[in-house]
Chain A
Amino acid sequence: MMHRVDSKLISSAFVIFLISTFPTPGRASDSVEIKGILRSSNGSPVQGDVTIVSGRRNVQTANVKTGLGGEFLVRVDPSSAWLLVAKAENHVSAERVLRFVSGASSLDLRIVLEPAITICGQVIDGEGMGVSNAEVYVAYADGRKRRFFFSDEMGPVVADESGTFCVPRVALGSRFELQAWVPGYLPGTSGVLTANAATAQAGVLVPLVSRGATVRGRIVDATGVPISGADVRLRVLALGGKGKSPSGLDSRAYWRPALQRTRSGPDGTFVFAGVPGGRIRIVATKDGFQASRLERRLGLDDEVLEETLVLLR
């Protein structure tokens, strides 16, 4: 009987094991020892460092450097979920989410880091002029998601006065997209490219061709007196494909204009530029007043909406 139960347990677990990348020994203990070696994709060990992250309300990280051969060792409390992030020079970082069941005492990780290439380019407007201060983000066509990231790998990298930028670390050989956003424009994308020497040499153009709509307004009290310093938020609702680029890739850049926030000026005015079309909600709040909100549908680009929100005590 015991043998049959164990066999079933092993069979069930083995099905899931087949899709696992973590060959792992386990033994009862109060802490789990996580060790491993960082390797490049050609199999050679690389020296780097490891950050482990835990917590949601109170986020805690710990940082250790690897040895010369890429080896590392950390101990963690298995009652928490941990994120392990590994990085090394000339590679893009990698991460693993670690959750433990009782009975595990050690974990041997094989972390493979992809070599990186630097990709530079320019963010331009519809007339080919450089757009300064645009935030440039990297998205990968394989859908990889990162919980912990370095801005020199995933963005935002900020373009200079001429719109020029460099992303120091893009995964060599990967299919990727550069996406850009700056207040006053709708996000733009380079389209999906391959990270190789030819792309790096040619440079990448990221056009911001649409300025989107502009929403202006005033915050006043019941007597029409302007209210300054009110918290004013604009949120785009039910926008099809929200958060994705035209290529269908998840995008931090395409999220940026979907939730905007400002404060009303001394004359009670506010403005949101670069607003995507669709249903929007504007909310104004200030201590001592009831919140006020309105919903509108925005049409084509360049539409200017002028609204007044009244805050009642």
Chain B
Amino acid sequence: MDTRRVATTLTLCAVLVMGRLDTRAQTCELSVSGVNKNRKAYGPLDQECSAPRAPWGNWGVTSNYGHKRDADQFEGWHWTDSKYQWNSCTFHEYAPPNCNYYNYSNCTQQITYNPSAVNVHGTTGISLAVDCPHDTDGDGVCDAGGCSDVWSYSSGTNWMTVYELDDWFGGDDLVQSMYFPSLSVDLSCDVWGCDSAGGNWVAPSYYDSPSWPAKIYAQMSMVVNYGWYVDDAYCEDLAEYDPEYNCY
């Protein structure tokens, strides 16, 4: 066995372990949501073709922002069971054109009840290690550290996998996955927190399951809901003996 290789391997493991323990207690916590609007369903769809629920279904979204759930993640247009649902079966007696089951494009396609209505399909949080609040210009007011250490938040390729949620027969039915371009949000933060900020709205770049045809459509964006500074006793201790940190 190559001893240097073993040493390299073990040292890497050691650093990984140290990394896991390296936590700075004072943080800036960001709340980041994936949101969508202008939802459409082109079909074909065969997710809810069996009685007793056919053809309506509530749709949920698993994404890089969270898991699918029976909520208002991807609202349709037909009010059923306290949800805006989608015609999830475009075959048999539910095939287009039919203005009972389609509300768009001459009763051949579907569009959400309000194209500008924004749905939140998932929310994540991230705790970022930051410096203790401190005063760089000597006026007694904290002007550095805390959330002012955080400038922007960028997400790589975003994705939404849409399911027809089925609580009668156990399994949720995959509709399709949509992939979106990366998004970036510039943040406006002071020491104590960050204002809400949103990114651009983007359309799907590509699909899978299946990759063609495009059965559904939506625009998505990313919103930083807030940032807030989470204090730590360490910073108060620091303020006791370092005037730069004794600010407010």
Residues of A at the B interface (CB closer than 8 Å) are 3, 6-7, 9-10, 13-14, 16-17, 19-20, 22-27, 49, 51, 53, 56-63, 65, 81, 87, 89, 96-101, 103-104, 107, 145-152, 154, 168-169, 233, 235, 237-238, 242-243, 252, 255, 258-259, 261, 281, 283, 285, 290-291, 293
A-chain residues with CB within 8 Å of residue B7 when the two chains form the complex: 6, 9-10, 13
Extra inter-chain contacts (20) besides given A238-B236, A258-B231, A261-B193, CB under 8 Å:
A6-B3, A6-B7, A13-B13, A16-B10, A20-B14, A23-B13, A24-B9, A24-B12, A56-B150, A57-B151, A89-B68, A98-B19, A150-B123, A151-B66, A151-B123, A169-B67, A242-B233, A252-B29, A259-B192, A261-B192
Assess whether A89 is in contact with B67, with CB atoms less than 8 Å apart: yes
A142 CA to B7 CA, complexed, in Å:
32
Assess whether A104 is in contact with B124, with CB atoms less than 8 Å apart: no
A and B contact pairs by CB, cutoff 8 A, 17 listed: A10-B6, A16-B13, A22-B13, A25-B9, A51-B64, A57-B149, A59-B153, A63-B158, A97-B20, A99-B22, A145-B23, A147-B127, A235-B248, A237-B236, A242-B233, A259-B229, A281-B248
A-chain residues with CB within 8 Å of residue B151 when the two chains form the complex: 57-58
Q: Does B51 contact A (CB under 8 A)?
A: no
Assess whether B129 is in contact with A56, with CB atoms less than 8 Å apart: yes
Q: Who on chain A is nearest to B161 by CB? A: A65
Assess whether A59 is in contact with B152, with CB atoms less than 8 Å apart: yes
Residues of B at the A interface (CB closer than 8 Å) are 3-20, 22-23, 29-31, 62, 64-69, 122-130, 139-141, 149-159, 192-193, 228-233, 236, 248
Q: Which one of A17, A53, A235, A242 has the greatest number of beta carbons of chain B within 10 Å?
A: A17
Nearest Cβ distance between residue A183 and chain B, in whole angstroms? 13
A-B contact count (CB 8 A): 182
Nearest Cβ distance between residue A23 and chain B, in whole angstroms? 8
A226 CA to B7 CA, complexed, in Å:
68
- Assuming A24-B9, A59-B150, is B16 touching A98 (CB within 8 A)? yes
Assess whether A20 is in contact with B16, with CB atoms less than 8 Å apart: yes
Nearest Cβ distance between residue B4 and chain A, in whole angstroms? 7
A-chain residues with CB within 8 Å of residue B14 when the two chains form the complex: 13, 16-17, 20
A104 CA to B64 CA, complexed, in Å:
28
- Assuming A148-B124, A151-B66, A238-B236, is B19 touching A99 (CB within 8 A)? yes
Nearest Cβ distance between residue B91 and chain A, in whole angstroms? 27
Q: Who on chain B is nearest to A59 by CB? A: B153
- Assuming A19-B17, A62-B156, A147-B127, is B12 touching A291 (CB within 8 A)? no
Nearest Cβ distance between residue B232 and chain A, in whole angstroms? 8
Q: Which one of A6, A22, A61, A89 has the greatest number of beta carbons of chain B within 10 Å?
A: A61
A101 CA to B15 CA, complexed, in Å:
7
A255 CA to B230 CA, complexed, in Å:
7
